[in-house]
Structure 1
Amino acid sequence: MRVIIIEDEKPSARRLQRMLNEVQIEAEVMLHSVEESIDWFQHHEHPELIFLDIQLSDGLSFEIFEAIEIKSAVIFTTAYDEYALQAFKLNSIDYLLKPIDEDDLKKAVSKYKERTPQQQSVTLDFNDIKKLLVNPIEREYKKRFSVKVGQHLKLINIDDIECFYSENKGTYAFTSEGRNYLLDTTLEQLEDELEPYKFFRISRKFVVNINAIDDMVSYTNSRLQIKLNTFKEQDIIVARERVKDFKEWLV
């Protein structure tokens, strides 16, 4: 099965790619803008299935379909309100509301595979869909976390968090005050909830805040070591396979 991802937020695209790998589907290509997608479709054989975000960095993804006739099946991946999406749900394979749930992804993929060959290619009325999104919902990212401290609840502002990390099956937030707080979430869930221009997942264990980075040093095996302003509890290493994306994220 030939599959591509069209998603302007690179952390979200990488997370979806990893989730697809877990169900034995390899996304061959990841595209991040309307312009890039149009150019790619003009010069490549079209895939069987597209995972499509609605709002890209340079416009709505429907502009791709206005410029290019595409018969690929579509699964929407979007932060838009599910009630608006209900109106055209039957015209596409499915839609996945961000942050994408693993079980929902599996069901959407199964729905695609269960379609007959005649049903695999779909034609969507993107003009009707665009009318539903005249007033698009702005993507909201986490601004604060509520954590339990003894018998009390404490609010932590997102800008005060230097990094998130996993340890002993728990997920922790480390603040500029030098405190660790246990969160009721996972790093996978956090990837879609955090502002992608501010936070980056550098490894399976760490997500770092760009504003907390104090220094970056070359490390063994073409990796990088990150030094934060306050966090000194353990080495923070950028995984080798994420070094390239990390460097792009920095600029």
Structure 2
Amino acid sequence: MNVIIIEDEKPSARRLQRMLDKLTIQAETMLHSVEESIEWFQNNPHPDLIFLDIQLSDGLSFEIFEAVEVKSAIIFTTAYDEYALQAFKLNSIDYLLKPIDEDELNKAIKKYQENQPQKQQVTIDFNDIKKLLINPIEREYKKRFSVKVGQHLKLINIDEIECFFSENKGTYLHTIEGRNYLIDMTLDQLEEELEPQMFYRINRKFFVNINAIKDMVSYTNSRLQIKLNNYNDQEVIVARERVRDFKNWLE
């Protein structure tokens, strides 16, 4: 199965790819904008299946299909309201509401595979769908976290957090005041909830806030060591395979 992902939020694209990996499906290509996608479709064989976000950084993804005739099957990945989602479901293989659930992803893949013997062409009236998107839901990221302190709950605003890290099977946030608090989320779940321009996952154990970075120094094996304003409990290292993407994120 030849699959591509069109998604402007790189953390979401990477998370989707990890979920597809568990189903032994490898996305051959990841595209992040309308312009990039149009150019790719004009110069490459079209895939069997597209995982398609609705709102990309430079416009609605429907603009791709206005510029290029694409016959691939489509599974939408979106955060739009239920009325629009119902329309998508009638005209495509399926839709997946963000954050994507593994069971729903598996069902969508099975639905696609079951349709293959008939080789049915997916047709979408993009003009009709556009009419349903007069008031699309803006992507909202978490603005604050609630943590338990004794018998009390404490609210911590996102700009008060230097980093998130995992330790002993727990996930913690570290504040600018130098306090650690346990939260009821995994780092994979945080990847969908954090503003990608503000937080970056530098390795399997850490997210860092760009505003909390004090210094960066070269480290062994082509890695980078991050110095944060307050956090110093353990070394904060950018994984070698993420160094290039991390540098792009900084810019």
Normalized against structure 1, the TM-score is what?
A: 0.97
How many residues matched?
251
In structure 2, the partner of 1:174 is 174
Alpha-carbon contact 1:226-1:236 (below 8 Å) kept = yes
Alpha-carbon contact 2:71-2:121 (below 8 Å) kept = yes
In structure 2, the partner of 1:86 is 86
CA distance in 2, matches of 1:201, 1:87: 35
CA distance in 2, matches of 1:68, 1:117: 25
In structure 2, the partner of 1:73 is 73
Moved more, 95-104 or 151-160: 95-104
In structure 2, the partner of 1:116 is 116
Alpha-carbon contact 1:213-1:226 (below 8 Å) kept = yes
State the Cα distance separating 1:118 from its structure 2 match. Answer: 2.7
| AA of the residue aligned to 2:213 | I
| AA of the residue aligned to 1:183 | I
Alignment map for 1:13-162 (pairs within 5 Å): 13-119=13-119, 121-162=121-162
Alpha-carbon contact 2:214-2:227 (below 8 Å) kept = yes
- Secondary structure of the 2:207 match is strand
- Secondary structure of the 1:214 match is strand
Alpha-carbon contact 2:84-2:129 (below 8 Å) kept = no
| AA of the residue aligned to 1:85 | L
State the Cα distance separating 1:192 from its structure 2 match. Answer: 0.9
CA RMSD of aligned residues (A): 1.1
CA distance in 2, matches of 1:120, 1:14: 29
Alpha-carbon contact 1:112-1:120 (below 8 Å) kept = no
Once the two structures are superposed, what CA deviation does each residue of 1:152-198 show, in whole Å capped at 9, x if it has no partner?
Answer: 00000000111111111111111111111111111111111111111
Moved more, 193-202 or 15-24: 15-24
In structure 1, the partner of 2:245 is 245
| AA of the residue aligned to 2:203 | S
- Secondary structure of the 2:221 match is coil
CA distance in 2, matches of 1:108, 1:178: 44
| AA of the residue aligned to 2:233 | E
Percent identity of equivalent pairs? 80
In structure 2, the partner of 1:193 is 193
In structure 1, the partner of 2:202 is 202
CA distance in 2, matches of 1:118, 1:127: 26
Once the two structures are superposed, what CA deviation does each residue of 1:32-79 show, in whole Å capped at 9, x if it has no partner?
Answer: 110000000000000001000000011000000011110101111112
Alpha-carbon contact 2:88-2:95 (below 8 Å) kept = no
CA distance in 2, matches of 1:175, 1:242: 24
Normalized against structure 2, the TM-score is what?
A: 0.97
Alpha-carbon contact 1:145-1:158 (below 8 Å) kept = yes
5+ residue gaps, structure 2: none
CA distance in 2, matches of 1:248, 1:120: 41
State the Cα distance separating 1:116 from its structure 2 match. Answer: 3.0
CA distance in 2, matches of 1:83, 1:181: 39
Q: Which runs of 4+ in 1 moved over 6 A?
A: none
| AA of the residue aligned to 1:190 | L
5+ residue gaps, structure 1: none
CA distance in 2, matches of 1:83, 1:239: 42
- Secondary structure of the 1:85 match is helix
